[in-house]
């Protein structure tokens, strides 16, 4: 879709709330229907994710934010820009994804006042049935989940997005320095299960990010890539199974950002062949999991401008976009047959 940019209101422009082009996502489709991600400004100091500031998450440059701290007023202005710019999409949108270059459930990064505005907006979207919120695990708490349930309609599902990346502890907490121990992951999943008891099983699910062919894997070895993806899916499904929490997997083929290239200079980008091997492994694990936990699998390709090999990225997407789009809607791996 084209995104209107023919003159933001003076109020929105004055607030510096118009997102840069790399923070404007196009609407795409997934298993729920039309999906759109909105990127709000981070409200922490200097607009920087606290984990990024602490030197964590070496594969990710997104936590650097937008160069300044936002507040409720500037994020409210951005929300008004989104409302006007995507006006043609709102009546048919099914899945809203909320980002802020960090954790949307951390009040220091997205205040409760700002979150309330976002929830009220989502609540008013007539066909939205799923709202996903990007967040680190410490902020997936009873209080945060209760706020989501209370702010959304009873027929809308809230889904925290957990950036697990890989279930391999040495890769996740060693190489990437996510500082995301299994105990913390398991506590977050348990918090979602408990919220399902309080508010109803249909009110909450879980999204999990999976990096394909990331540091620590043999990126050109399909078996190594597939094994890591499969182990990650098995781990997540096993955590969700006792409560029957539906899990969606967000697939992120690894790309070299400025930060990750400096940390892992010899680790290549994920090829289309490796990406397909990883996705096939995820599909196999999904089919082996209990029916209740089998959610969607979504191949994401937005990089917010951080892929340092943009020409390669553009060539890959030119070849793969239609196949990814079909897979994301149907989960039919045959859609990927021509890619690797």
The fold adopted by the segment(s) 16-39+79-99+112-339 is pyruvate-formate lyase- activating enzyme (3.80.30)
Greater confidence (16 vs 62) lies with: 62
pLDDT tens digits, residue range 32-52?
999 999 999 999 999 999 999
Assigned token pair, 212: 């394909």
- Residue 289 zone, left/alpha/beta (φ > 0; ψ -120 to 50; rest): beta
- Sequence-distant (6+) residues with CB within 8 A of 251 are 210, 212, 275, 278, 279, 282, 297, 298, 299, 300
Q: Are 275 and 251 in contact (CB under 8 A)?
A: yes
In the predicted model, is pLDDT for residue 158 greater than 70? yes
pTM confidence score: 0.95
- Counting residues of the chain whose pLDDT is more than 90, the rounded percentage is 92
Distances (CA, A) of 149 to 108, 158, 252: 20, 7, 28
In this structure, the number of other CB atoms found within 10 A of the CB of residue 49 comes to: 23
pLDDT digits (tens, 9 = 90+) for 102-130: 999 999 999 999 999 999 999 999 999 99
* pLDDT digit string, tens, across residues 68-107: 999 999 999 999 999 999 999 999 999 999 999 999 999 9
Is the pLDDT confidence value at 14 over 80? Answer: no
Question: What's the pLDDT score for residue 1?
Answer: 33
Whether 210 and 277 have beta carbons less than 8 Å apart is answered as: no
DSSP states along 110-132: S-HHHHHHHHHHHHH-TT--EEE
Other CB atoms within 10 A of residue 6 CB:
5
Q: What is the pLDDT of residue 2?
A: 33
Full 3-state SS string of 3-71:
CCCCCCCHHHHHCCCCCCHHHECCCEEECCEEEEEEECCCCCHHHCCHHHHCCCCCCCCHHHCCCCCCC
Q: Is the pLDDT of residue 325 over 50?
A: yes
As beta bridge partners, residue 130 has 95, 157
Asked if residue 151 lies in contact with residue 116, where contact means CB atoms within 8 angstroms, the answer is yes
Q: What is the mean pLDDT of residues 232-246?
A: 99
pLDDT confidence tier of residue 4, bands split at 50, 70 and 90: very low
Mean pLDDT (the chain) is 95
Residue 201 CB contacts under 8 Å (≥ 6 apart), including other chains: 244
CA–CA distance, 240 with 247 (Å, rounded to integer): 7
Q: Which of 145, 174, 161 is nearest to 208 (CA)?
A: 161
Antiparallel, parallel or unpaired: β 206-212 and 157-165: parallel
Question: What are the backbone dihedrals phi and psi of residue 94, each rounded to the nearest 5 degrees, phi first?
Answer: -110, -30
Q: Residue 229: pLDDT band by 50, 70, 90 thresholds?
A: very high
- The DSSP-derived string for 198-214 is HH-GGGB-EEEEEEES-
* Nearest alpha-carbon partner for 66 in 25, 18, 31, 103: 18
pLDDT class of 220 with cuts at 50, 70, 90? confident
């Amino acid at each position: 879709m084209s995104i209107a940019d023919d003159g933001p209101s003076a109020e929105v422009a004055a607030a510096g709330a118009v997102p840069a082009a790399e923070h404007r996502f196009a609407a795409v489709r997934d298993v729920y229907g039309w999906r759109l991600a909105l990127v709000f400004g981070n409200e922490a100091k200097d607009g920087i994710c606290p984990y990024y500031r602490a030197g964590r998450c070496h594969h990710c440059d997104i936590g650097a934010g937008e160069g300044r701290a936002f507040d409720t007023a500037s994020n409210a202005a951005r929300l008004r820009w989104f409302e006007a710019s995507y006006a043609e999409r709102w009546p048919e949108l099914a899945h809203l994804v909320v980002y802020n270059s960090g954790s949307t459930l951390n009040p220091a990064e997205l205040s409760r006042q700002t979150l309330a505005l976002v929830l009220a907006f989502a609540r008013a979207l007539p066909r939205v049935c799923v709202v996903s919120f990007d967040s680190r695990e410490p902020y997936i708490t009873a209080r945060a989940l209760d706020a989501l349930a209370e702010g959304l309609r009873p027929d809308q599902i809230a889904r925290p997005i957990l950036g697990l990346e890989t279930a391999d502890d040495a890769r996740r907490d060693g190489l990437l320095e996510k500082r995301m121990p299994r105990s913390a992951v398991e506590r977050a999943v348990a918090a979602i299960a408990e919220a399902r008891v309080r508010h109803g099983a249909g009110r909450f699910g879980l999204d999990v990010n999976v990096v394909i062919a990331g540091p620590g894997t043999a990126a050109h070895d399909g078996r190594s890539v597939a094994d890591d993806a499969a182990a990650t899916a098995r781990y997540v499904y096993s955590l969700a199974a006792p409560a029957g929490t539906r899990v969606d997997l967000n697939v992120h083929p690894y790309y070299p950002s400025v930060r990750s290239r400096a940390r892992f200079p010899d680790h290549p980008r994920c090829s289309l062949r490796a990406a397909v091997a990883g996705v096939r492994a995820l599909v196999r694990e999904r089919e082996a999991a209990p029916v209740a936990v089998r959610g969607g699998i979504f191949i994401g390709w937005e990089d917010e401008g951080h892929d340092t090999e943009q020409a390669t990225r553009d060539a890959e997407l030119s070849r793969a976009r239609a196949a990814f789009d079909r897979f994301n809607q149907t989960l039919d791996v045959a859609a990927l047959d021509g890619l690797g």
